[in-house]
Structure 1
Amino acid sequence: MKSLGIVEYRSIALGLQAADSMVKAADIKLLISQVVCPGKYIILFTGKLSSVKAALEVAAKPPLDTVLIDTYLLGNPDESLIPALYGACEKGNPEAVGIIEGYSVASIVGIADEIVKTSPTKLIEIRMARGMTGKAFALFSGELAAVQASMEKAKGALLENGMYLHSAVIPHPDPQIWEAL
Structure 2
Amino acid sequence: MQFDTAERTMWELVQTYTGRVGYQRGVKSEGLSADPPVIDCSGWTRLLLANAMQAENEAAGHPVFAPSDVEALQAWSDRIIQEIEVRTGFVLEGEEITFHSLPRCATIGLKLGKPSWANNYPRRRGITHVVQVVRRPEDSAPFVSESFGGAVLPGVSLTPLEEWLVQAEPQLRAGEIWAVDPFRLASKN
TM-score normalised per structure 2? 0.27
Q: Which has the larger share of strand?
A: 1
| Larger RCO, structures 1/2 (Cα 8 Å, 6+ apart) | 2
TM-score normalised per structure 1? 0.28
Which has the larger Rg? 1
Q: Which has the larger share of helix?
A: 2
